[in-house]
């Protein structure tokens, strides 16, 4: 067992909380569950997947970032239109 002096433990806790808040603050829109008949636009980006996701008739605009924040699945049950461009690709990333 590793014992840290209380000041180091407090600093480590503070850094962990700051990292957690910063990572959540970077989400433009949080998504999970079923998303039906939706349009994901650049102003709402990044779209953070915070749970299993089912997409049904969703359109994703060029330049949008979809950030998967865990071990979640994305199922497309209806339709998905995601047409990026060379200058403005659509990015799927994970944390």
The predicted-structure confidence for 29-82, as pLDDT tens digits, reads as follows: 999 999 999 999 999 999 999 999 999 999 999 999 999 999 999 999 989 999
Residue 80's pLDDT is what? 96
Residue 25's pLDDT is what? 52
Question: Is residue 3 predicted with pLDDT exceeding 70?
Answer: no
Stronger pLDDT, 50 or 20, i.e. the higher one: 50
Burial of 6 (0-12, 13-18, 19+ CB in 10 A): exposed
Question: Is residue 4 predicted with pLDDT exceeding 50?
Answer: no
pTM: 0.72
């Amino acid at each position: 067992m590793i014992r840290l002096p209380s000041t180091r433990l407090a600093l480590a806790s503070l850094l962990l909380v700051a990292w957690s808040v910063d990572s959540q603050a970077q989400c433009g829109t949080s998504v999970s569950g079923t998303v039906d008949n939706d349009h994901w636009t650049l102003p709402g980006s990044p779209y953070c997947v915070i749970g299993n996701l089912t997409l049904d008739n969703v359109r994703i605009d060029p330049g949008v970032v979809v950030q998967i924040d865990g071990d979640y699945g994305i199922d497309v049950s209806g339709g998905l239109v995601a047409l990026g461009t060379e200058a403005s690709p659509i990015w799927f990333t994970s944390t």
